[in-house]
A and B are shown apart, each in its own frame.
Chain A
């Protein structure tokens, strides 16, 4: 018999709605409200030993104190599992459920899960720190939510390994796990390609990140023959002593170096410190990453007005979007203040 603690808010505890959102934290014996539905779905395989109740406003008025109280209570009662919610698309309640689950699993090692609408605000905040099952956006989806919480909750409580989120019916937690398969990658790729060409269904093993917000294109250069062109790369090309200490991955820094230095390419010579590709060909000839020789030749031919006197470099592997956007913004401001008209970027 799996012993379960259950966290709910004042509304689902039957205390009241928004006017009772300041209801203080309390502990009740046994199942309350949706906990009864969870017990029915458990069908004798588990029971709710206690219900933790806290008003939505009361929780967020002092989350640390409330979480400490919950952790202390569970340290005492030692349940096998904590279920929070389901909170559907609720803002404060969902965040409370995420915070409670994260704290209980991290501080007590007790498995925990909650149920949330995939677009609820708490999903992005807590997805990496707690197991979540997807629910509808309102309590109309209670029945399905209870089934999902119970199924995944029992697996967690019994220490059974979780499978891929989609297979398990969970909200992805944002990390990948490796496992051994019998079918080599070439076979899987060809099968996928045949399915794609044949109009069949297939599931990519590498999900592309969600598309970025479209950026309105910049106006085109009107007169190339008088334009100053700059070279920018995320290929990690730096003087070999890496004077600016640009990171080999997860970069937070960028730097610019005189193209005259790159043209000379000795004392120091340029090398790639990028950890995400084999740099032997670029190290042998940096023009393969920053095409300075070709751009200079085109300037000499009169195709462009000139080459901007610096090239710009950072490392684009494992780099967060936040840092990438910040660095892009900083580089753009510098280019504009230096009177650059257009840019050629290279990326690996």
Chain B
């Protein structure tokens, strides 16, 4: 609904296909179901660096023009 109102919204989720069915437009695979922006297997510093990378990807997604719903490749 946020996209519908004209504001680009990137969705970080472990369940990308479900997100697409539900109508999200800018979808990124991230983390696991209980922590889409976390990776508790890493050390705190490494986890923060990883999360910063994920958020950077989400920012790239809202800055990318798209024609239809897209699951962004993990680039």
Residues on A facing B (Cβ under 8 Å): 208-209, 211-222, 224, 227, 229, 232, 235, 277-282, 284-285, 287-291, 293-295, 297-298, 303-304, 324-325, 327-329, 331-333, 335-336, 340-348
Contact = CB atoms under 8 A, between A and B. Distances in A.
A215 B55 CA distance: 23
Contacts of A336: 5-7
Contact of A232 (B9, B23, B67, B69): B9
B13 A217 contact: no
Given A215-B25, A341-B7, A347-B11, A224 B1 contact: no
A300 to B, nearest CB: 11
Contact of A344 (B9, B21, B22, B67): B9
Given A212-B23, A298-B59, A331-B1, A219 B6 contact: yes
Main secondary structure of the interface of B (DSSP, over half): loop
Given A218-B25, A220-B63, A221-B63, A289 B3 contact: no
Given A220-B8, A344-B9, A348-B13, A213 B23 contact: yes
Interface residues of B, number: 50
Given A229-B59, A278-B34, A346-B36, A294 B5 contact: no
A231 to B, nearest CB: 9
A343 B3 CA distance: 9
Contacts of B69: 214-215, 217
A107 B33 CA distance: 44
| Top 5 closest pairs, chain A to chain B, by CB | A288-B38, A328-B1, A212-B23, A332-B5, A342-B62
Given A215-B3, A220-B63, 14 more contacts: A211-B20, A217-B69, A218-B4, A219-B6, A219-B65, A220-B65, A221-B62, A288-B35, A288-B36, A294-B51, A294-B52, A324-B1, A335-B2, A340-B7
22 contacts: A208-B17, A215-B23, A217-B67, A218-B8, A220-B62, A222-B63, A229-B59, A293-B48, A294-B37, A294-B54, A294-B55, A298-B52, A304-B59, A324-B1, A325-B1, A335-B7, A343-B2, A343-B7, A344-B9, A344-B10, A344-B58, A345-B10
A290 B37 contact: yes
A22 B40 CA distance: 69
A282 B38 contact: yes
B75 to A, nearest CB: 16
Contacts of A208: 17-18, 21
A278 B54 CA distance: 22
A347 B13 contact: yes
Contacts of A216: 3-4
Contacts of B19: 347
B40 to A, nearest CB: 5
B21 A303 contact: no
A298 B6 contact: no
A235 B35 CA distance: 9
